[in-house]
Amino acid sequence: MSRKIEKTDAEWRAQLSPTQYEVARQKGTERAFTGEYWNFWENGEYRCICCGTPLFDSEHKFDAGCGWPSFWTAAAPENVDEAEDRSHFMHRTEVLCRKCGAHLGHVFEDGPAPTGLRYCINSASIRFDPQRSSGGDD
């Protein structure tokens, strides 16, 4: 059920745009205020750009003013992995898709209630879907 998805770099490169590949597979970061979703407020869910796994929901999205889509929780915490990231002389917590290992962004502890968390996610790593797959509870 939770079988991992593994593809070669060449396969990912063929599937993704250059920006998506750079961010999701090479742990890149899109420039602030350039992504598709930082100022996007439609109602729906956000899936992994690589494998389609539901990760975040518009219900948890908030305007952090940082130029990246921000969520105060993952919609499906079981689909999200966290890892220590000590690159760039910082100590951060990286957020990844558990299913395919895509780099999504980072989580910080300066978000709003009730979690106090801010999942700062690259637009390039996610794909908006107005149809919630889990759905049925509104």
Taking CB under 5 A as the binding criterion, the range among 13-21, 32-40, 84-92, 94-102 that sits at the site for Zn ion is 94-102
Phi and psi dihedrals of 95, rounded to 5? -115, 130
Taking CB under 5 A as the binding criterion, the range among 33-41, 58-66, 99-107, 126-134 that sits at the site for Zn ion is 99-107
> Residue from 16, 23, 48, 80 that binds Zn ion (CB under 5 A)?
48
CA 33 to chain centroid, in Å, comes to: 16
Q: Are 128 and 46 in contact (CB under 8 A)?
A: yes
Q: What is the dihedral of CA 74, 50, 44, 40, to 10 degrees?
A: 90
Closer Cβ to Zn ion, 64 or 102, answer by number: 102
> Residue from 100, 120, 121, 124 that binds Zn ion (CB under 5 A)?
100
Count of chain residues binding Zn ion (CB under 5 A): 8
Query: Which candidate, 75, 25, 69, places its Cα nearest to that of 53?
Result: 75
Active site residue 100: no
